[in-house]
Structure 1
Amino acid sequence: MAYVHRLGAERFHFADLRSLLAKASPRRSGDELAGVAAADARERVAAQLALADLPLKAFLNEAVVPYESDEVTRLIIDSHDAAAFAPIAHLTVGGLRDALLAEALDTAAIAPGLTPEMVAALSKLCRAQDLLLIAQRCEVVSRFRSTLGLRGRLATRLQPNHPTDDEAGIAASLLDGLLMGAGDAVIGINPATDNLPQVMRLLLMLDAVISRHQIPTQSCVLTHVTTTLEAIDRGAPVDLVFQSIAGTEGANRGFGITLELLAEAQAAALALQRGGRQVMYFETGQGSALSSGTHAGCDQQTLECRAYAVARRFEPLLVNSVVGFIGPEYLFDGKQILRAGLEDHCCGKLLGLPMGVDVCFTNHAEADVDDVDALLTMLCAAGCNYIMGVPGSDDIMLGYQSTSFHDALAMRRLLGLRPAPEFEAWLQRMGVFEPGGAPRLAEALPAGFAALLERA
């Protein structure tokens, strides 16, 4: 249906819900590239005002991507929890924002009743401060060998990538990270080559390190889900199944996946019984559907939220937005990256997901380390479950800038945050952190850590 809003003497027409959501989005290069952005600030404000008055019930009657041709839409509609929606069914989008900021709603209770489009609409009405306040109220806890997402905790993914997958280089980065308290979310390697023998070798190496040192964490080699399934078939020690996901069926097919394939992978990982029941690790990022030409005329932030519906279906241990990774064509500069990162974290948490954020940018984006520091500090203040830990913040294999082990230490010290409880206890037993109070690095290298430099 069409939507109309008057702003002064001017009348603004929006053809449908998809257009209204797109025009209400804060400015970003990807939406302009797609031709769906507001023409100017006046049209954007008019769309936001119209969106604020829209009843939440309207989202249950109008799909932004057709139900008949998109399995993500069918997942969203068919799995909607009417009972969880009932307490907020009378609200408009603006009313939902007001109620959340007034702390009048149980965010965990309403999460199953929220659709991605409702949450995307809400975020478009929020300033940065609002996104922080709403996200901070959402505690989403997940568990495997470590417990993630508890209040007052900040976990990290230890990312020891190497441009040739050299075991000595990976081991050196791994030791560096563990000595600075990184790795409680996951030790995750992006393999330089996505072939089965290499993936098997890396999985065995990580499993040997974790087992030998009894580290309360989990490992993941971030290969395609089909490669992970082959590795499981061959007896590999797979803790978590990784996959990049998106918000339309077409974009997911571009990644080489379907919901059925993800369900098969989840079942295979659960059958291994290596830890908890949350065995999936998903990465998302605004612009992925546009980059494959499968955005269906939607804005990239709405589609990002739809990707969270896919993630929610599989009860993941970890979800993270690689917010600046795709490039300036989609998020042009530090300001756009900051806004998108706050949106992604808040929206994911509202939908009940254990959200982390890869606070990052590509080397050709208009961004720098000050932009990273600003977004990182805001996210950690808002209760982000985990961040990345990359040696020196420069991923020499993927070729982008992220957050370092030192950054995690700085955030823990600045905001009084601590590692996951099981991992914190292990760090203290190993002599890496001193017991009690805020974590402090031990002065000397613990003797037992020399063994980590041995090849698994």
Structure 2
Amino acid sequence: MRLKTLLAGQVYEFHSIKEVLAKANEQKSGDVLAGLAAASDSERIAAKEVLSNLLLSDLRNNPAVPYEEDDVTRIIQDGVNERIYDKIKNWTVSDLREWLMDYATTEEDIRRVSQGLTAEMIAAVAKLMSNLDLVYAANKIRIHTHCNTTMGKRGTLSTRLQPNHTTDNVEGITASLFEGLSYGVGDAVIGLNPVNDTAASAAEILKRFDEVKNKWQIPTQICVLAHITTQMEALRQGAPTDMIFQSIAGSQKGNEAFGFTTETMKQAQEMLRKNGTGTGPNVMYFETGQGSELSSGANFGYDQVVMEARCYGYAKHFSPFMVNTVVGFIGPEYLYDSKQVIRAGLEDHFMGKLTGIPMGCDCCYTNHMMADQNDIENLTVLLASAGCTYVIGVPASDDIMLNYQTNSYHDASAVREILGLRPIREFEEWLEKLGIMENGKLTSLAGDASLFTQRKGGLG
């Protein structure tokens, strides 16, 4: 295993695979603040050259956290298909990149080989890819999942309807919900981030979502993104629950900082299978974001791309219905500007798809970042071109509760029209019955929430 190279007359020597991975990463402010980033573009190129020649077996044999100390590592390592791994373990990281980019490599090929990969391998190959490489390779892959409807089919771009409210007022939430539906948003999930993390509040909102879903016969899923234990208690109390949500990290320590364990996750999944209202079999919803492990001191000296890839390896174990990276939410301490946010969004989407999970993105930024709405719209178009499973929609792009900016309710429709994409078929048929969509395009009724306040519910 060679950890040094000669570049432009200068020898660059690295002390570990950890250092190579970190310094091969495209510049991220989180890695800089953690003292992990390359000191110069030349050192970054040298690290990429060294990384390109490492074997996949080198990466498997050097996980970010030792197997004996971390259940995320154990889940990822134990999930490897050993027969497939044996066939590719002597590939270099460069070999894997070239194979992914080869026009002859099919989606079926990638699905098979992905079973022999670990998160560290997936992060490594992402570091050797340009933005266009990430779009091209990810576009080869589609992951289908089913809760109440099937998401992820080629030719679709789904949306999460996020009707957040500053006080969790159910009537205010419902007004925003109706507006989002009138724009054709919500085929992936109707999912709210609550202000009050209590089982009673979550249950009240879930009951309203369930009432609207059933009254209007909406083919979708519902979820309130409270803490996993709060949702479990709401479910115990009888709240209608299609899916359970949790933010996850790439290490056991990071997950414990989020207030749950792998056993908690297993219990939630079992509760849903017995008492949930989703058809399944995919009933979990996870969110991630580069930098969360650094913020909790749970990165073990590894860069944020490696730790993010480990999130996806962990998520895969629970066969989720949906996963998304909240790409610019944590702030400039981890992704400083639009260039870094766009890069991270493309990396995360590619890594999730290569891992084998249904990957979406909250294309977002905060007001103290060097980014604006144009940058987020650029990222949305790039991700949709890459086959992104779904994006988020909020009123006028501004989430008044979380105080961040993301896609508006009507952004997804514009992107769909530009790229020839559609909602989930059952949801599109529902929109057509209401007169909101026709031939894949919104009609003049789009954006008129009175459709739901002045009509009787139901379509029968």
TM over 0.5: yes
CA distance in 2, matches of 1:388, 1:179: 15
Matched, 1:271 2:277: no
Structure 1: give runs of 5+ residues left out of the alignment: none
Per-residue CA shift, 1:230-253, capped at 9, x if unaligned? 111111111110000010111111
1: distance between equivalents of 2:312 and 2:245?
15
Q: Distance in 2 between matches of 1:8 and 1:443?
A: 62
Shift of 1:446: 9.0
Counterpart secondary structure, 2:374:
helix
Moved more, 54-63 or 181-190: 54-63
What aligned pairs does 1:22-421 form with structure 2 within 5 A after superposition? 22-105=22-105, 106-272=109-275, 274=277, 275-421=279-425
State how far apart, in whole Å, the 2-side matches of 1:355 and 1:39 are.
32
Deviation at 1:85, TM superposition (A): 2.6
Deviation per residue, 1:281-328 (Å, 9 max, x gap):
000000000011111100001100001111101000000000000000
Give the CA deviation at 1:453: 11
How far apart are 1:60 and its partner, in Å?
2.0
* Equivalent pair of 1:206/1:219 in contact (CA under 8 Å): yes
Q: Per-residue displacement from partner, 1:103-142 (whole Å, max 9, x unpaired)? A: 3441111222111110100010000010000000011111
Against the structure 1 CA distance between its residues 66 and 421, is the aligned structure 2 distance closer, same or farther, given a 3 Å change threshold? same
Residue range with higher mean Cα deviation, 71-80 or 399-408: 71-80
In the alignment, the residues of structure 2 paired with residue 375 and residue 26 of structure 1 have an alpha-carbon distance, to the nearest angstrom, of: 17
Distance 1:39 1:329 in 2: 18
Between the aligned partners of 2:450 and 2:20, the Cα distance in structure 1 is 61
TM-score, with structure 2 as normaliser? 0.95
Q: Which amino acid aligns with 1:115?
A: T
Partner Cα distance (1:452, 1:166) in 2: 23
Q: 1:418–1:227: structure 2 CA closer, same or farther, 3 Å change rule? A: same
Q: Which runs of 4+ in 1 moved over 6 A?
A: none
Q: Find the aligned partners of 1:266 and 1:384 in 2 and give their Cα distance.
A: 25
**1:144 partner letter:** C
What RMSD over aligned residues (CA atoms) do the two structures have, in Å?
Answer: 1.6
Amino acid corresponding to residue 134 of structure 1 in structure 2: A
The one-letter code sitting in structure 2 at the alignment partner of 1:66 is: P
CA distance in 2, matches of 1:68, 1:38: 30
Contact 1:172 1:453 (8 Å CA) reproduced: no
Of the three residues 434, 437, 440, the one matched with 1:438 is 440
Q: Secondary structure at the match of 1:194?
A: coil
Secondary structure at 1:362's aligned position in 2?
Answer: coil
CA positional deviation for 1:84: 3.1
**CA contact 2:327–2:363 (8 Å) conserved in 1:** yes
Match of residue 4 from structure 1: 4
Q: In structure 1, what residue type is equivalent to 2:16?
A: D
Q: Is the 8 A contact 2:183 2:442 kept in 1?
A: no
Task: Please give the secondary structure, in 1, of the residue aligned with 2:4.
Answer: strand
Once residues 370 and 439 of structure 1 are traced to their aligned partners in structure 2, the CA distance between those partners, rounded to angstroms, is 23
Paired residues of 2:60 and 2:120 also in contact (CA < 8 A): no
Give the match's secondary structure for 2:115: helix
Shift in Å, 1:10 = 1.6
Percent of paired sites with the same residue:
48
Name the SS for the 2:286 alignment partner. strand
**Displacement after TM superposition at 1:439 (Å):** 2.0
